[in-house]
Structure 1
Amino acid sequence: MEFFNPALKENITFVRPAYFIISGFVGIPNIKYYFVFLFFIYIISFIGNMAVMTVLIVDHTLRSPKYIAVFNLALTDLLSSSALVPKVIDTFLFNHRYISYSNCLTYMFFCFTLLSMQSFNLVALSIDRVMAILYPLHYQVKVTHRIMLSVIAFFWILTVTVVLIAVGLITRLSFCESVVIKSYYCDHGPVYRLGCNDVTPNRGISRLAPILILWIPLVFILGSYCCIIYTLSKITTIQGQVKAFKTCIGHISLIAIYYIPIIFVFCFGTTMQVNTRIISLSLTSILTPMLNPIIYVFQTQEIKDSLKKLLKIKARAKIGKIGQSLLKAPKTLF
């Protein structure tokens, strides 16, 4: 990290704390029930995303480029909720609010990387939808497995690079006053604002990162749907328009669930109380991974049919095992 911290090369004294204190919520009675609620959301999210990933792995008919993006979405949601929720529960429900300096930066890196990838997953899915509707006859040629994997790999590299720079710039800061983080985890903004030296580079990356990770993807998604709507307007029959638009309903639902709370927090975050802002951000980060698999199971007929098929196979296998055990059991003599 010497690249980010010139003070190490110049032997300038700076203060690196041994630990941070995550303050979280202040003055809310019975807040522990909120974290119990988060635990149940995490369990539902874990089961739902694991179910989607299992279906996509087991069912060989679901091998189109679209489902590569869906698998990446489920994997990202599973990892992001697993990186965030257990630590949040441990911090507040069991009152382990102290976190070491290095663990805080590691925690920050994984949380920001995985949460940021959610917007790029929506971009990958929008690319699939816009190509399927604009070029239905050439879809399989224009959107191949290789292209989709390349797009997803590029998004991962971009996200990791941006987050790594943001986290790396934290190491150049001297923390000579407070070490209390006013958030529910090692959030980048509350951490760099604790620095006593020049935080201009940190402020700059904190303004640039949302543009790259949130707003440019949103503009691209909205632009793709403008193209979709324009293409659908050329279809002569209403039935054809509805049929084509139905393939986008699941994706549109994911976009609304992800972006509406974020836009709300960005618009009103400065006027919110600390507790209100923390609850809004935590729910936004945790509810989305839970709702995404539910939406895709109910909105995508292929996944729904495949899941039913797997459940039927498992049920028959259990019934078969029970039947075999009954046949092998010794008969009782009366």
Structure 2
Amino acid sequence: MRVSNQSSVSEFLLLGLSRDPQQQRLLFLLFLTMYLATVLGNLLIILSIGTDSRLHIPMYFFLSNLSFVDVCFSSTTVPKVLANHLLGTQAISFSGCLTQMYFLYLFALMDNFLLAVMAYDRFVAICHPLHYTTKMTQKLCVLMVAGSWVTASLSVLLHTLLIAQLSFCGDNAIPHFFCDLTPLLRLSCSDTYLNELMILTEGAVVTVTPFVCILISYIHITSAVLRVSSPRGRRKAFSTCGSHLTVVCLFYGTIIAVYFNPASAHSSEKDTAATVLYTVVTPMLNPFIYSLRNSDLKGALYRVVHRGTFSV
């Protein structure tokens, strides 16, 4: 039921991905399967790294943090989609919408920052291998992760507080399966100039800066690897960052498809599909990408599963 004009909006309607009942049932099963795979896969990564002392090095410390963030990232949207389907409702309260938006962008930014931190880790490991242990200390690793949390929290809090100051009246239907910033601004009957200005300035800085850092790191990594005379040495050097580079391409590729295309190239179906990729599919694929391309992690995962199987 839509709120009539000139009234204050107390809840929003999440229209979801489809209005066809048959498609909704199929999407429910698909989302449930992907969510369970995301949670199970990432928790196995965290457990494997935590229980294997050989993996207590910076690269895996950052990977375990990324896995934790991916579980939280998916948990901000998918459970609500599943609950709405089971309860036969599309409603989300105003406060619930702001809360979902806050945590969604918090974990998205953390993914962004952690991918940049992991790129720096690979840069030091490949370009300055003799100084790796002295540069990538435990204290520095903890500080980089903690700094990422603080920066992401403050940035997202700013945008959430600005949204909370807006007035919403008239149409309260969000053509999405979660509370996204852009649809909310379109529904507001207040002046959104300040919100849009902060998105283009502060929002762009905290989003683009990690991406630029990743590009710079890989430019240096590529340059260093190409100077290696042995083909085997070059393959080994590239293999150490292959998984990370795959995840970076998948994460940023879908985000660019949604947010950095001309308006004429946009359609609600394409944008929604790309959004599903980076909010649901990417967190699910990350554990598989890292475990399949990393023999040490694959071995740790095998030992965890093997130990769990025989202890039952």
Amino acid in the other structure paired with 2:283: P
For residues 316 and 194 of structure 1, do their structure 2 counterparts lie closer, same or farther at Cα, with a shift above 3 Å needed? Answer: closer
Work out whether 1:283 is the aligned partner of 2:283: no
Work out whether 1:40 is the aligned partner of 2:30: no
Cα separation, 2, equivalents of 1:35 and 1:63: 38
Work out whether 1:142 is the aligned partner of 2:135: yes
Structure 2 length normalisation: TM-score? 0.91
Segments of 5+ residues of structure 1 without an aligned counterpart are 1-13, 319-334
Cα separation, 2, equivalents of 1:35 and 1:205: 36
Cα separation, 2, equivalents of 1:66 and 1:84: 28
Work out whether 1:130 is the aligned partner of 2:123: yes
Checking the alignment, whether the CA contact within 8 Å between 2:257 and 2:274 is kept in structure 1 is no
Work out whether 1:110 is the aligned partner of 2:103: yes
CA drift of 1:65 comes to 1.4
Partner deviation per Cα, 1:116-169 (whole Å, 9 max, x = no partner): 211111111101100001111110000011101111111111111111010100
Amino acid in the other structure paired with 1:308: Y
Q: Secondary structure at the match of 1:99?
A: strand
For residues 315 and 99 of structure 1, do their structure 2 counterparts lie closer, same or farther at Cα, with a shift above 3 Å needed? Answer: closer
Work out whether 1:22 is the aligned partner of 2:29: no
CA drift of 1:39 comes to 1.0
Work out whether 1:151 is the aligned partner of 2:144: yes
Q: Calculate the aligned-residue CA RMSD, in Å.
A: 1.9
Equivalent pairs, count: 305
Q: Secondary structure at the match of 2:272?
A: helix
Cα separation, 1, equivalents of 2:33 and 2:17: 20
Query: Which of residues 78, 81, 85 in structure 2 aligns to 1:85?
Result: 78
Work out whether 1:190 is the aligned partner of 2:183: yes
CA drift of 1:104 comes to 1.1
Work out whether 1:54 is the aligned partner of 2:47: yes
For residues 213 and 84 of structure 1, do their structure 2 counterparts lie closer, same or farther at Cα, with a shift above 3 Å needed? Answer: farther
Query: Which of residues 279, 292, 296 in structure 1 aligns to 2:286?
Result: 292
Q: Secondary structure at the match of 1:21?
A: strand
Checking the alignment, whether the CA contact within 8 Å between 1:122 and 1:255 is kept in structure 2 is yes
Work out whether 1:204 is the aligned partner of 2:197: yes
CA drift of 1:315 comes to 3.9
Cα separation, 2, equivalents of 1:217 and 1:289: 18
Written as runs of structure 1 = structure 2, the 5 A alignment for 1:246-285 is 246-268=239-261, 270=263, 271-285=265-279
Checking the alignment, whether the CA contact within 8 Å between 1:131 and 1:139 is kept in structure 2 is yes
Cα separation, 2, equivalents of 1:29 and 1:310: 41
CA drift of 1:210 comes to 4.8
Checking the alignment, whether the CA contact within 8 Å between 2:7 and 2:170 is kept in structure 1 is no
Q: Which residue of 2 aligns with 1:172?
A: 165
Checking the alignment, whether the CA contact within 8 Å between 1:41 and 1:287 is kept in structure 2 is yes
Q: Which residue of 1 aligns with 2:3?
A: none
User: Which structure is higher in helix share?
Assistant: 2
Q: Secondary structure at the match of 1:20?
A: strand
CA drift of 1:110 comes to 1.0
Partner deviation per Cα, 1:75-114 (whole Å, 9 max, x = no partner): 0001111121111222345432111111111111111111
Segments of 5+ residues of structure 2 without an aligned counterpart are 1-5
CA drift of 1:31 comes to 2.6
Work out whether 1:241 is the aligned partner of 2:231: no
Identity %, equivalent residues: 30
Q: Which residue of 2 aligns with 1:4?
A: none
Q: Secondary structure at the match of 2:92?
A: strand
Cα separation, 2, equivalents of 1:207 and 1:93: 38
Partner deviation per Cα, 1:227-276 (whole Å, 9 max, x = no partner): 01111122222221111111011111111111111112224473333233
Work out whether 1:309 is the aligned partner of 2:311: no
Q: Secondary structure at the match of 1:255?
A: helix
Cα separation, 1, equivalents of 2:32 and 2:201: 33
Amino acid in the other structure paired with 1:278: T
